[in-house]
Amino acid sequence: MPDRKRPHVIVTRKLPDAVETRMMELFRPTLNLGDAAFTQDQLKAAMAEADVLVPTVTDRIDADVIAAAGPALKLIASFGTGVDHIDLAAAKAKGITVTNTPGVLTEDTADITMALILAVARRVTEGERLVRSGDWAGWSPTGMLGHRLTGKRLGVVGMGRIGQAVARRARGFGLSIHYHNRNRLLQEIEEELEATYWDSLDQMLARMDVVSTNCPRTPATYHLINARRLALMKRDAILINTSRGEVIDEFALSIALKQENLGGAGLDVFEREPSVNPKLLKLPNVVLLPHMGSATIEGRLDMGHKVIINIRTFVDGHTPPDRVVETGF
């Protein structure tokens, strides 16, 4: 393919080598080998120059950035599932198609969710810190007591692909499955998961031993788990978040944990990443991970391949398979 027919693709972060190599074969990419995040001015400059922009979920593609797009830019092929970092309405008004990479991170995120449930319930990170400190005096009948998962109730907030994958794993650990969702699942899925549907989130939260938030970031889910709802939960309940940091009011969560009105929490996402609420950092009953739910080699390669397919399909004049429809969010 002659270079003049290859789209100029600007990639905002370092991607896996195999993905970048394939991009070199198919497109005219400008790669970010240093992996330093673009500033807003750099994003604007990239929009002005590129035929296709490949941002990640940490790039803020707001209306100002989209306004800087040159006439050649017609596609934003985001490397990631979430699209709350992109002003979809502004992109639509500018005639720019937006794609994402859905579906490839389901199993990876469900794995880390289950890992957090286990880590909090059995106080894994507290125990690991105790051993490293040199203060461990040996086994004790009352030492490092946590909670058994078998026989407990798991409430899933957001029963999409990831929520269902979490439910399947949790059943293997003897948890009974409950869920709250905007729409009730099909009967056959409920029967497969042996899941109980709750139309009222408040009523479900009050009865669960473990709560996992697996819903997208939308205006309706901002601080969905707030001080009022945290107060509804059992004093020994566990709260897990692997979706978006803004779904939980971190300040209210820190108070509930400090006052021991909640048993524990496991967070892989935060409201103001990469900054973490300093109050949470001081608490022993919360497990904090660096947004690594999707961080597997296999997942990152699959994401990159989806980006490439979306670009190639669009350049060939067809609708890309992962086109994001603005009205769907």
Instruction: Pick the catalytic residue from 244, 250, 271, 300.
Output: 244
At position 250, the amino acid (one-letter code) is E
291 is catalytic: yes
291, 305, 312, 323: the active-site residue? 291
The verdict on whether 318 is a catalytic residue reads no
What span, in angstroms and rounded, lies between the C-alpha atoms of 278 and 124? 21
Q: Which has the closest alpha carbon to 260: 286, 296, 235?
A: 235
Cα Dmax for the chain: 72
The active-site residue out of 25, 191, 260, 273 is 273
Q: For residues 282 and 280, what is the distance between their CA atoms, to the nearest angstrom?
A: 5
> Is 8 annotated as catalytic?
no
What is the rounded CA–CA span in Å between residue 149 and residue 164?
18
- Rounded CA separation 156/177 (Å): 8
Residue where the block lists tokens 């490839």 = 104
**Under 8 Å CB-to-CB from 82, ≥6 apart: which residues?**
57, 100, 216, 217, 244
DSSP H/E element including 76: strand 75-77
Cβ neighbours of residue 20 closer than 8 Å, sequence gap 6 or more: 11, 14, 29, 31
Amino acid at 84: D
The torsion angle over the Cα atoms of residues 282, 268, 35 and 30, rounded to 10 degrees, is -150
Q: Is the Cα torsion angle 261, 262, 263, 267 positive or negative in sign?
A: negative
Where in the sequence numbering do the catalytic residues fall?
Answer: 244, 273, 291
